[in-house]
Amino acid sequence: MINFEEELRKFRPSLEISEAEDVIINHNLTDFTDILVQMVREHEEETMGQDA
């Protein structure tokens, strides 16, 4: 039978995950929300230009 408490004590995260976390945290990455906001702004600018 698996002793989950013992397995948790032995757990060590891999270096690759730690490295990925550093890259993600330390870089300003564009996410879906940023892209969506930019698209809405561009659409608003286009429609405002047509109203004039």
pLDDT in tens, 1-52: 999 999 999 998 777 887 888 877 777 778 889 999 999 999 999 998 776 5
Number of domain units in the chain = 1
19-33: burial string, b at 16+ Cβ within 10 Å, e else:
eeeeeeeeeeeeeee
pLDDT, residue 9, reads 93
Whole-angstrom CA distances from 21 to 18, 26, 34 are 5, 8, 20
Distances (CA, A) of 16 to 19, 30, 36, 41, 49: 5, 22, 31, 37, 49
Domain that holds residue 28: 4-51
Query: So what's the pLDDT on residue 38?
Result: 94
pLDDT value of residue 51? 67
